[in-house]
Amino acid sequence: MQVFNPDGWPRPKGYSNAIVAEGRHLHIAGMVGWNPVTEKFETDDIAGQFKQALENVVAALAAAGGKPEHVVRMTIYLGDADEYNANLKNIGAGYREVMGMHFPVMAGIQIAGFVEDGAKLEIEATAVLPND
């Protein structure tokens, strides 16, 4: 996997601008920040839901034999972008705890709502697993 940034651009904070990867593509469905067994939200805190949603992404990734460093793209759907931005310090801490210092390309999009009542965000990811 190679990360690219256009010449003259500052390094992005918390994501990458472009990645080239070769291998088997794994597409991970949108994951909300609930307990995946009970399908209940254990917190209404956006940072807590963000961390749990990432843990759910990593669990799906692991089921296919992948690791966090195999994620090449992540889309974060937000119910409230202002709430997300106001909690970036705690969201970033949760991100690093689950994903380490691996930063795929990312997009954050505010949407009107979620299918799951109580969701504050949903994370969708794409990973490229090694061809071994």
Domains and CATH numbers, the chain: 2-129 (3.30.1330.40)
CA distance 87 to 73: 22
pLDDT for res 63: 97
CA distance 20 to 6: 14
The separation between the first and the last C-alpha atoms of the chain, rounded to the nearest angstrom, is 15
Q: What are phi and psi of 102, to 5 degrees?
A: -95, 125
- pLDDT tens by residue, the chain, 132 residues: 899 889 999 988 889 999 999 999 999 999 999 999 999 999 999 999 999 999 999 999 999 999 999 999 999 999 999 999 999 999 999 999 999 999 999 999 999 999 999 999 999 999 999 997
CA distance 79 to 96: 22
Q: Record the tokens describing residue 120, joined without a space.
A: 């504050």
Residue 52 CB coordination number (10 Å): 23
pLDDT for res 14: 87
Torsion of CA 14, 26, 36, 120, to 10 degrees: 40
pLDDT for res 132: 77
Rg (C-alpha) for the chain, rounded Å, is: 15
Largest CA distance in the chain: 48
CA distance 29 to 57: 8
